[in-house]
A and B are shown apart, each in its own frame.
Chain A
Amino acid sequence: MKLAVISCIHGNYEALNAVLSDIDAQKADQIYCLGDLVGYGPYPNAVVELIRSLDIPTVQGCWDEDIVEGLNACECSYPSQLAEKRGRLAHEWTNTVIRPKVREYLATLPMTLRLDNLCFVHGSPNSQHEYLLPSMDSFAALERVLSTDADVLFCGHTHVPYVRNLGDGTLTVSVQRPGKDALETQFKTPVKQIVNVGSVGEPRHGRPNATYVLYDTDTAQVELREVPYEVAKTCMAILEEGLPPIFAWRLARGMEFAERADDPSHVCQR
């Protein structure tokens, strides 16, 4: 079965349409969505309605959560203070225009979805806000996959797609308890995989094209897809809606111009 996995649409209807056309052309059997349907972009209601009308299994992203529960996360919601300042403006705008039915739908979305040996999350299995960057410590990354009991963990949130194979994992552990002999055990882990599917509507890999992933469940083949679309249309709509112009500027370049978070793996203790 051929799966298409999309994430981080962020109210960008033009990009979603283009990606759905590409998915059609690639003859995918099933689409999964990793959340962040809203935020930043000018068409949050239309994006949610399209996803719902196609009955696409979807997990809740951090932006979806914030629209449901309000902005109550700590600073970890954003990769930097600059990003947080911009993000708050986008949140306030989205919160104003979002329809009650759309908000209700976002509230029903699960944190994770499963399909056989595959697990789908927005950020990480711990939190929608945790960034699984490709540079993350390999043991920590392996722990995130193992905690799901799946072989392949699909995530988004970083807006930059990658595939990470984690193999030949070994750990020697020795336990000493009072009055007992030390017990040494060696653990070996099978190959696990993290697939970050990038972003449909707010890509940050250095080009403005939308990104998503195709995955063949029979061959375990992963294909990172890049889809051009009419970025200018979304940029114009951002300006017309009165959203911060910086969102249009960076969307046209496919980059987030902000410093990195100190601790992207920090888990929000809200």
Chain B
Amino acid sequence: MQWAILSGIEGNLAAYEAVLQDIRQQRSPVTALYALGDVIGLKGDNEAVIRRLQSPRPGELDPQVCIGWWEEQCFSLHGLSGLPDAPELMAQFGGDGVKQLWESVSRESVRWLRSLHFGFHELDCLLIHGSTVSYADELTPGTPAIQLCDRLLRADANTLFCGRSGQTFHLKIPEGAVTSTVTTLDAAAQTMTQTVRDRQIVGVGSVGKEPGKATYTLYSPYTNAVSFRTVRYGTQGKGFGAV
């Protein structure tokens, strides 16, 4: 059993095709494909990517797609969730960005995106765009350690796969401990030590953000092995060879 986990296609169909090609070439077959949000964006052909995700070719895996930051902006524009008029999108990309996103995703596609999950719990893993706190929660190796620990505990998972940062990283928490003493009106102080052991957060990379270079993650649930793939494609790369 091997999973391919990706995020951030951002409308970049060529990048997604290159990743699918790389997945097909794996010696150990990929048995599940997860797309952790941001399948749409501003630069590419959002409709083409959505159609490709909706209709895998014969023999291809059916991708399991969840909602990301860009999808949430789209819902906000269409008045389907969050604050109206996508203030986050407006603040980051201005009126042009708002117009572009509005025009590049059809109503039918918005309805399909709206039907997607917020994340996936599989075995002892949570696969999600940001974290259970928010789609916008950006976890990186620079995030305070206690916050990373908190996100794992909230997720109720041993492994948290996320895509918000677009970075590839494998962060392990082999051990941790904290002593807690609680005093109430009716009970004298009671002390306990809580430990955490062998949890991990994996940043799965970004397929479409950087032109010519797609990154994604392979994971074997039985062995807990994580490996990162970098796929060069198009004119800016050197063919389709994976690094």
Give chain A's interface residues, CB within 8 Å of chain B.
Answer: 126, 134, 137-143, 146-147, 160-178, 185, 187, 189, 198, 205-206, 211, 224, 226, 265, 267, 269
Name the contact of B145 in the complex, choosing from A141, A164, A187, A226 (C-beta under 8 A).
A187
Given contacts A139-B196, A162-B183, contact A269 B178 (CB under 8 A): no
B149 near A178 with CB under 8 A, answer: no
Minimum CB–CB distance for A204 against chain B, Å: 11
The docked-state distance in angstroms from the alpha carbon of A173 to that of B174 is 7
**Chain A residues with CB under 8 A of B44:** none
**Chain B residues with CB under 8 A of A175:** 141, 169-172
A172 near B174 with CB under 8 A, answer: yes
The docked-state distance in angstroms from the alpha carbon of A209 to that of B187 is 17
Residues of B in contact, count (CB < 8 Å): 39
Name the contact of A173 in the complex, choosing from B171, B178, B230 (C-beta under 8 A).
B171
**Chain A residues with CB under 8 A of B133:** 126, 267
The docked-state distance in angstroms from the alpha carbon of A139 to that of B184 is 20
**Chain A residues with CB under 8 A of B170:** 175-177
> Is the C-beta of B18 less than 8 angstroms from some C-beta in chain A?
no
**Chain A residues with CB under 8 A of B182:** 134, 162-164
B149 near A224 with CB under 8 A, answer: no
> Is the C-beta of B173 less than 8 angstroms from some C-beta in chain A?
yes
Grouping DSSP codes into helix (H, G, I), strand (E, B) and loop, the B interface class, with mixed when no group exceeds half, is strand
Given contacts A139-B149, A173-B171, contact A168 B228 (CB under 8 A): no
A146 near B180 with CB under 8 A, answer: no
The docked-state distance in angstroms from the alpha carbon of A167 to that of B182 is 12
Minimum CB–CB distance for B176 against chain A, Å: 4
Q: Which of the listed residues B145, B148, B228 has the most CB atoms from chain A within 10 Å of its own CB? A: B145
A137 near B194 with CB under 8 A, answer: yes
Minimum CB–CB distance for B158 against chain A, Å: 14
Interface residues of B in 146-180 (CB under 8 A from A): 146-150, 153-154, 167-180
Name the contact of B177 in the complex, choosing from A126, A169, A176, A224 (C-beta under 8 A).
A169
The docked-state distance in angstroms from the alpha carbon of A162 to that of B172 is 33
A167 near B146 with CB under 8 A, answer: no
B153 near A139 with CB under 8 A, answer: yes
> Is the C-beta of B186 less than 8 angstroms from some C-beta in chain A?
yes
A142 near B146 with CB under 8 A, answer: yes
**Chain A residues with CB under 8 A of B193:** 168
Name the contact of A169 in the complex, choosing from B171, B178, B228 (C-beta under 8 A).
B178
Minimum CB–CB distance for A152 against chain B, Å: 14
Q: Show 27 residue pairs from A and B whose CB-CB distance is below 8 angstroms, ordered by the A residue.
A: A138-B194, A139-B146, A139-B194, A140-B153, A140-B154, A141-B180, A143-B146, A143-B147, A143-B150, A146-B144, A160-B184, A161-B184, A164-B182, A166-B179, A167-B179, A167-B181, A168-B193, A170-B175, A171-B146, A173-B173, A175-B170, A177-B167, A178-B168, A178-B230, A187-B145, A205-B185, A224-B185
The docked-state distance in angstroms from the alpha carbon of A147 to that of B143 is 12
B173 near A172 with CB under 8 A, answer: yes
> Is the C-beta of B100 less than 8 angstroms from some C-beta in chain A?
no
